[in-house]
Structure 1
């Protein structure tokens, strides 16, 4: 199997305390995401930073978010501090950055074509958050015939209960779940 790492939406606006769209569990996963990231870097495996961006005028945001985005809080707007990937996970040269404006990292992006060009058939997924961007990306990956493993201690949701419910659902479509320690043990020579 040829593996690649997907790190989903680990941006300031979603991770940092006090951020406008903070996902409660995201901050506590930083060290585990970084551990997996460093392992992939050490072994020269492909890394994809999948991030969300919206135009400031709201023209590309989902309909259900439009009103709130325009009247209360703008987030994930390019060239703002909140849109940036958190400092601890900044991409290195040669790592891929995939920009999406929907839940799935595959929808209207070049992710699938790059993965296929690299002959990747297994994805290791980390990031935030389970019920939205992680789930949509994983479901699309399964539909596109990728093997998927989610790293449980490097993936987050607003609550533990939400995370557990999503894990049950995704196990039912063949997704594997490992801790960061289990992944590193399994991938180590």
Structure 2
């Protein structure tokens, strides 16, 4: 019989006369890690990491946020810990999924309300408008502004999702891709913690995924009370938080 399916983890075996619907067994790889508010054991074989919006417009000193006077130093803080963590996850065959803001060039997937959020006066450089310094259209798919920062250059094995809302699950194939990978547990990283990271994590939790935030791999350019409130909400509602160093130590042989 011939295997058929979107990924090696999610396949049938078929012939002209029969179909075997039993998916391949995925041997569990339990890992126990120090986390908050309690210790967590998860299955590494059924896990993925979502890295959200680590893009030039949010994290580069020539990007959109910097151009409107935002200090992007906090948004760059996750770069170093992610540089250490992501190769270890890839080596363990954990999917790395980049969930990046990437609007259509014609902006037909953006509402006036959403455009207003990013260009309140209507006279500034909002979504899809060229930045005065670089000329790159703000957060437009395929443009320099929407690319992952150079320090975190994605691996060819990684998966990319373009989003156009705060949540990476809204009107994107993210849910389908994760289910075809037969993933149950999601780690979260990126910016802004209290906006796109939180909303994507909330939707993942509502959809039935286990959700854990890697605290030092996520950040916000907003005041620290926003970070504190987000961590509190995660502990009370959405799951757990942990440090990348504790995760790497727990994964070590």
TM-score after normalising by structure 1: 0.92
> Greater CA radius of gyration, 1 or 2?
2
Decide which of 149, 155, 167 is 2:231's aligned counterpart. Answer: 167
Provide the aligned C-alpha RMSD in A. Answer: 1.8
Q: CA deviation at 1:40?
A: 0.9
Q: CA deviation at 1:176?
A: 0.8
**Which residue number corresponds to residue 157 of structure 1?**
220
Rounded to whole Å, the distance in 1 between the matches of 2:99 and 2:149 is: 13
Q: CA deviation at 1:184?
A: 1.2
Q: Moved runs in structure 1, 4+ residues, more than 4 A?
A: none
Are positions 1:92 and 2:155 aligned together? yes
The unaligned stretches of length 5 or more in structure 2 are 1-42, 130-137
Q: CA deviation at 1:188?
A: 2.6
**Which residue number corresponds to residue 115 of structure 2?**
66
Rounded to whole Å, the distance in 2 between the matches of 1:76 and 1:147 is: 29
Question: Per-residue displacement from partner, 1:17-57 (whole Å, max 9, x unpaired)?
Answer: 24212573111211112222111112121110111012344
**Which residue number corresponds to residue 31 of structure 2?**
none
Q: CA deviation at 1:112?
A: 1.1
Query: 1:173 aligns to what SS in structure 2?
Result: helix
Are positions 1:114 and 2:152 aligned together? no
**Which residue number corresponds to residue 250 of structure 2?**
186
Aligned pairs, number: 189
Question: Normalized per residue, which structure has more helix?
Answer: 1
The unaligned stretches of length 5 or more in structure 1 are none
**Which residue number corresponds to residue 28 of structure 1?**
77
Q: Is the 8 A contact 1:33 1:127 kept in 2?
A: no
Q: Is the 8 A contact 2:56 2:144 kept in 1?
A: yes
Query: 1:172 aligns to what SS in structure 2?
Result: helix
Are positions 1:123 and 2:201 aligned together? no
Rounded to whole Å, the distance in 2 between the matches of 1:79 and 1:71 is: 24
